[in-house]
Amino acid sequence: MDRFNDELTLRELVDILLAKRLHVLSLVLLSAALAAVYVFFIADEVYSSTAELSVSPTKVKARLESKIELQPIIDISPDIIKSLAKSQPLMTEVAERLLAENLVPNTLKGENSASLAILLSNNTVISVSQTNKNTSGSYTVRLEARTENPQFSAIIANVWAEATSKNINKLSVSQAEANLKALEENIQPAESEYREAEKAWEVWSSKTPLTEWKEELAMRIDKQAKLALEVEAITHDIENTQAKLDETRRLLDKERSTLIAESDPLASELAGESLNDARKIIRDQLKSAESLYNETSQNLVLYTSRTPINRWKNELEKYRGRLSAVELRLKTINTDISKQQAILSKMQEQLSATPYLVTLKREVLSDPIVALATIKADLQSLDGLELKNESLNPTYVELISQRNKAQASLSGLSAEKDALEEEKGELAGAIEVLRSQIAKAEQELSRLNAEASLAKKHYLKIAALELDYREGRSDLQIEPNSEVYQKIKLSLINQEINFAELQARYSGLREQIEQNKKRLSDLQQSIAVAETDKDFLSRELNRTREAYWALKQKQTDLGIELASMQNSMAQIIIPAYPEPKPIAPQKVTILALSTFMGLILGIFWAFVSAALEAPENKQQANNINN
pLDDT at 488: 80
Q: What are phi and psi of 576, to 5 degrees?
A: -85, 145
Domains contained in the chain, number = 3
Is residue 94 assigned to a domain?
Answer: yes
62-82 pLDDT tens trace: 444 444 444 445 567 888 888
pLDDT at 62: 45
Is residue 397 assigned to a domain?
Answer: no
CA 223 vs. chain centroid, Å, equals 41
Count of Cβ atoms closer than 10 Å to residue 465 Cβ: 22
Q: How far is the C-alpha of 381 from the C-alpha of 369, rounded, in Å?
A: 9
Tell me, yes or no, whether 504 and 448 share the same domain. yes
Is residue 113 assigned to a domain?
Answer: yes
Tell me, yes or no, whether 277 and 264 share the same domain. yes
Question: What's the mean pLDDT in 15-44?
Answer: 79
Tell me, yes or no, whether 54 and 36 share the same domain. no
Is residue 570 assigned to a domain?
Answer: yes
Tell me, yes or no, whether 330 and 238 share the same domain. yes
372 pLDDT more than 80 = no
pLDDT at 391: 59
Tell me, yes or no, whether 24 and 79 share the same domain. no
DSSP code, position 45:
P
Q: Determine the residue type at 185.
A: E
Tell me, yes or no, whether 609 and 514 share the same domain. no
268 pLDDT more than 80 = no
Tell me, yes or no, whether 433 and 477 share the same domain. yes
Is residue 80 assigned to a domain?
Answer: yes
Tell me, yes or no, whether 108 and 239 share the same domain. no
Tell me, yes or no, whether 34 and 129 share the same domain. no
pLDDT at 386: 53
Is residue 520 assigned to a domain?
Answer: yes
380-394 pLDDT tens trace: 554 555 545 555 567
Q: How far is the C-alpha of 272 from the C-alpha of 528, rounded, in Å?
A: 84
pLDDT at 69: 47
* Backbone dihedral region for residue 137 (phi beyond 0: left; psi -120 to 50: alpha; all else: beta): left
Question: What's the mean pLDDT in 265-271?
Answer: 53
226-250 pLDDT tens trace: 888 888 888 998 999 888 888 888 8
pLDDT at 190: 86
483-529 pLDDT tens trace: 777 788 788 888 888 888 888 888 888 898 999 889 889 988 998 89
Q: How far is the C-alpha of 153 from the C-alpha of 50, rounded, in Å?
A: 8
Which comes out higher in pLDDT, residue 360 or 331?
A: 331
Residue 303's nearest CA partner among 443, 433, 432, 430 is: 443
Predicted confidence band at 377 (pLDDT cuts at 50, 70, 90)? very low
Domain of 305, in residue numbers: 210-345+412-543
Q: How far is the C-alpha of 626 from the C-alpha of 616, rounded, in Å?
A: 16
111 pLDDT more than 50 = yes
Tell me, yes or no, whether 241 and 259 share the same domain. yes
Mean pLDDT over all residues of the chain?
Answer: 77
Is residue 531 assigned to a domain?
Answer: yes
DSSP code, position 381:
G
Q: What are phi and psi of 396, to 5 degrees?
A: -65, -40
Q: What are residue 50's DSSP bridge partners?
A: 144
Tell me, yes or no, whether 313 and 426 share the same domain. yes
Which comes out higher in pLDDT, residue 294 or 624?
A: 294
Helix (H) or strand (E) holding 295: helix 275-306
- By mean pLDDT, which of 41-45, 123-127, 215-219, 329-333 is the weakest? 41-45
Please spell the DSSP secondary structure of 151-208, one letter per residue.
Answer: HHHHHHHHHHHHHHHHHHHHHHHHHHHHHHHHHHHHHHHHHHHHHHHHHHHHHHHHH-
Is residue 57 assigned to a domain?
Answer: yes
Tell me, yes or no, whether 89 and 183 share the same domain. yes
**∠ Cα 130 133 135 (to 5°):** 90
